[in-house]
A = this chain, B = another copy of it.
Amino acid sequence: MTLGFGVIGAGRIGKLHAENIATRLRDTQLLAIADIDANAAASTASKLRVPTSTDDYRKLLENPQIDAIVICSSTSTHADIIVEAAKAGKHIFCEKPIDYDLSRIDAALKAVEEAGVKLQIGFNRRFDANHRRVKQAIVNGEIGEPHLMHIVSRDPAPPPIEYIKVSGGIFFDMTIHDFDMARFLVGSEVEEIYAAAGVMVDPAIGAAGDVDTAIITLKFANGVIGTIDNSRRAVYGYDQRVEVFGSGGSISTDNRFSNQATIQTTQGVWRDLPLHFFLERYADSFVTEMREFAQAVRSDTIVPVSGPDGRVPVLMAMAAKRSYELNRPVKIKEVEA
């Protein structure tokens, strides 16, 4: 069965998903692209030989050939489109985060549940080969019972200050991926968070009311203790590593590099920098998440990243933010209430 797809939003991530659906997936057809900027939609559609483009995403919801939609529009529109798409009976792949507001998230999840459609959240990093290998080691018991977890997640450079101002802050914008990763790897919910943070990269980020460097301590329900180490600027490139330590050993991952060459000169032993940008580093994971979404829709099985998986990291970001503001550990229960 060929699955019909529509993509809403033709920005950077929308174009990426559109291209993956059009060229990397089997038995799928990308039928339409929508963007409030009609030209952006048309240009992407043309490049990928997609038959339809529009500036009105509702056209996609009305198209009976479209089985699944991919929401890549701006965050503030996610929840509403989820509700509409669910009512239209479409399966939904939605970029993270669903929303920053719990009640809006809950309304969207409720609509999905009532409609009985699939909803998958775009936490693509779960599909990365390194993170999958860590998860597998834990599930297989290769390192025994987990005790400690350490996530290093550093961007190569901060986004523009204008973006920072509307981003919701580092915990919602950047750490949210690591919050998801922490839950995913440890396989247990976080109960309490302590965030230490500061402005070290750029004073303008501080002036915008945000921080750019943070260490977040997580206490999990199963007793595991973990840390997330964030920076908005690692000058050597995108730094994405994980270590989980347990009763039977440890597993840790290195970054990925464009080549495996080592050069020795009188100056030292060196190699080229790690992959610099998330689009390179996680290129495969974006394909895999979409392939598994299509597969879940086709076989009517559960999606690998559920709606509730999109909700919990928002709670964690709330707790982290409050912890930083109060300089004390904050329980998830405190922010959920």
Q: What 1/0 flags go to A293-337 for Cβ under 8 Å of B? A: 000000000000000000000000000000000011100000000
Min Cβ gap A205→B in Å is 13
Q: Closest B-chain residue to A249, C-beta based?
A: B265
Cα(A328)–Cα(B327), bound, Å: 8
- Is the CB of A3 closer than 8 A to any CB of chain B? no
Copies in the complex: 4
Pick from A35-43, A101-109, A140-148 the stretch touching chain B: A140-148
Partner of A247, one of B201, B239, B271: B201
Q: Are A273 and B264 in contact (CB under 8 A)?
A: yes
- Is the CB of A99 closer than 8 A to any CB of chain B? no
Partner of A250, one of B200, B213, B236, B256: B236
On whether A261 and B253 interact (CB within 8 A), knowing A148-B231, A225-B197, A235-B248, the answer reads: yes
B-chain residues with CB within 8 Å of residue A262 when the two chains form the complex: 251-254
Cα(A197)–Cα(B223), bound, Å: 9
Min Cβ gap A234→B in Å is 7
Cα(A198)–Cα(B200), bound, Å: 31
Pick from A73-81, A128-136, A168-176 the stretch touching chain B: A128-136
Min Cβ gap A226→B in Å is 8
Q: Are B261 and A268 in contact (CB under 8 A)?
A: no
- Is the CB of A272 closer than 8 A to any CB of chain B? yes
Q: What 1/0 flags go to A220-255 for Cβ under 8 Å of B? A: 000101110101011111010000010111111111
Q: Are B200 and A247 in contact (CB under 8 A)?
A: yes
Cα(A160)–Cα(B28), bound, Å: 37
Cα(A219)–Cα(B198), bound, Å: 10
Cα(A318)–Cα(B231), bound, Å: 30
Cα(A154)–Cα(B247), bound, Å: 12
Q: Closest B-chain residue to A274, C-beta based?
A: B269
Q: Are A266 and B236 in contact (CB under 8 A)?
A: yes
Q: Are B253 and A245 in contact (CB under 8 A)?
A: no
8 closest Cβ pairs, A-B complex: A270-B270, A249-B265, A236-B264, A254-B260, A23-B23, A133-B261, A129-B259, A133-B259
A and B contact pairs by CB, cutoff 8 A, 23 listed: A23-B23, A130-B260, A130-B261, A133-B259, A133-B272, A142-B265, A147-B200, A147-B231, A148-B213, A196-B219, A198-B223, A215-B225, A215-B227, A217-B227, A231-B245, A235-B266, A236-B249, A249-B264, A253-B261, A254-B262, A264-B274, A269-B271, A327-B329
| Besides the known contacts A143-B265, A150-B227, A229-B245, 13 further A-B residue pairs in the complex with CB atoms under 8 A apart | A130-B261, A142-B263, A143-B263, A147-B200, A147-B201, A147-B213, A150-B150, A231-B245, A235-B248, A236-B250, A236-B269, A268-B270, A268-B271
